[in-house]
Amino acid sequence: MIPVFFIVTILLVLWIQYQKSRTDRSAEEIREAFWEKERQANITRKKDISNLDYITVPIDRLPFPDTSREDIAETQQLIKKLSSGKIVNFTGISNTDLKLQYGAPNINFLMEYDKNYLELVRSLYKYGRYLYEENLKTDAAAVLEYAMSIKTDVSANYTLLATIYKEKNETERINFIISCAEELQSMTKKSLISNLMAIRDSSISQ
């Protein structure tokens, strides 16, 4: 008589092999689908990109106070330089999808526009933080608010702006920041919203 333990072991091995086979087939199907999509993207014809949602940096409305700090001056110049280029927020859209939507011949332009956007939102946060360090809170808020309006995904931008509102006794405005954060396509969205609520609900100004 065959021991029960032996039968169970054989069944377990067969089950593991079956699951591995299923996983391998699934992975292969995903790879094939990806490369087929990429193939289609690479043969997609060039399309008109003149009507993209280009971002205009309001240089005339953003604060650029005179400063003796070299790091602040450099960031000011970088923002002004970026404002003269083309900027588009493609956050969450893969290069393959960009080629499918706008044509493979445009991909280098689109990648440049996206790169400009990423550099802009990082620079805006850095600049806002510098202004905050100089106790120019109104100016800092203006910069951070603009970054939020173009849907920056720099979490620190939102928490610093909330901190400024808290320190200025404008706690109710943090609710608007939270509503903007809820629209983000970010893996850290939940923790960001939690941090914003903590700042809003704290009894001591940050």
Residue ranges per structural domain of the chain: 1-43, 48-201
**pLDDT tens profile 80-106:** 999 999 999 999 899 999 999 999 999
Dihedrals phi, psi of 167, to nearest 5 degrees: -70, -25
pTM higher than the cut 0.85 = no
Tokens of 69: 């700090």
Pick the CATH number of 48-201 from 1.25.40, 2.60.40, 3.30.70, 1.20.1740: 1.25.40
**pLDDT tens profile 7-26:** 667 767 777 776 776 776 66
In the predicted structure, residue 78 carries a pLDDT above the cut 50: yes
**pLDDT tens profile 115-153:** 999 999 999 999 999 999 999 999 999 999 999 999 999
Only one residue has tokens 């604060």, namely 63
